[in-house]
Amino acid sequence: MIKEGEIVNFSKKYEKKLDEAVTNAFKDISNNFIFSVPNEWSFRLVSKTITFSDIKEKMLENGLSVSCVNKYYGVDSTIKVDTNIIMLDINDNGIIKSYPILLCEDKKQGTNDKRMLEGKGKQAVGNAIERGAKNFTIISDYCFLCDHNFFPYVIFAHGCDFGDDMTKTMKAKIEPYIGELNKINPFFDKEIWWSRKGGTCICKSDEFTVEEMQDICYKICKTGVEHYLKRFAVKVSEKEAYEAAIAST
C-alpha cells in the first residue's frame, strides 16, 4: 500500500514491464526464426540509445551531403527510448548492416480518474504523449534512413487520458505522426523524407500486461523479418535449414 506523502517512481515500474516484454519477444523471434533466415543473419538486443552520430552516418550512407547532415544534426547528442532495441544484423560479405525491427516507448498519462474518486476537480491532460511525439521525429529519421518503408516504432499509451473517451485534442496530438490509433502498422505511409507518418500507438485506460506488450512486440518483429526476407529476395533452402539445425545441436 502507498502511504500518504510517499513518492513512487511509476515510470520505472512500467519500463521494467516493457523491458521484460521486449526481452521475451527477442527470445521468441530468435528461436522461431533460427531456421527461417540465412546463416548470415542474426538478431541482437542493443542499448536503448540512438546517437545523432548514428543518424549522421545513415544520412551519409544515403548520399546526403555533409552540409545537409550538419544542418539537421549539427550538435552531437543522443535520444533514449524506454527499452532496448531489437536489431536484425545482416552480414553482407563481411560488412554488417543493421536494421531495427523493434523500438518501444511507454507513456503513462492522466490522473483524473483518481482525482474524481478523491472528490477533486479535473486537471488538464498531461504532456507524456507530446514527449513521445518529439522522440518520434528523431526515431523516424533513423528508421527511415535504415529502410524507407519499415517503421517498427510502437508507443504503449495508458492512463485515463487514453481511455475510450479520449478527447479530440489528445487524438490531434498523436494522429499527425502515427495515423490510425490502436492498429499495428510498422510501416511508413509514404517513402518521402519530409512528409511521412506511420508506426503504432496502442491506447488503453488501464495498465498493459507484459503478455499484451510481448504479443504486439513479437508481431512487429515477425513482420520485420518477413519484410527483409522479401526485400532481399531471400529464400532459405531446405538444405540450409537442415545444416543450421545440425550446427545448433
Note the pLDDT tens digit of each residue in 215-237: 999 999 999 999 999 998 776 54
Going by pLDDT thresholds of 50, 70 and 90, the confidence category of residue 102 is very high
Cell, residue 140: 523516424
Q: Tell which wins on pLDDT, 188 or 54.
A: 188
The whole-model pTM stands at 0.80
Q: Tell which wins on pLDDT, 121 or 130.
A: 130
pLDDT at 167: 56
Note the pLDDT tens digit of each residue in 138-173: 888 888 888 889 999 999 988 877 776 665 666 777
pLDDT at 10: 47
The percentage of the chain sitting over the pLDDT mark of 90, rounded to a whole number, equals 29
Residues 106, 15: contact at Cβ < 8 Å?
yes
How far, in Å, are 11, 16, 168 from residue 207 at the CA level?
12, 13, 22
Cell, residue 166: 479520449
The residue type of 235 is K
pLDDT of 183 > 70? The answer is yes
Q: CA-CA distance, 179 to 183, in Å (whole number)?
A: 9
What is the three-class DSSP state of 95?
A: strand
Going by pLDDT thresholds of 50, 70 and 90, the confidence category of residue 14 is confident
pLDDT of 62 > 50? The answer is yes
Mean pLDDT of the chain: 77
pLDDT of 27 > 70? The answer is yes
Percent helix, strand and coil across the chain, each rounded to 5?
A: 45, 20, 35
Residues 201, 182: contact at Cβ < 8 Å?
yes
pLDDT at 72: 63
Fold of 10-248: ECO RI Endonuclease; Chain A (3.40.580)
Any idea where the domains of the chain sit in the sequence? 10-248
Average pLDDT of span 174-178: 78
pLDDT at 208: 94
Q: Tell which wins on pLDDT, 191 or 185.
A: 185
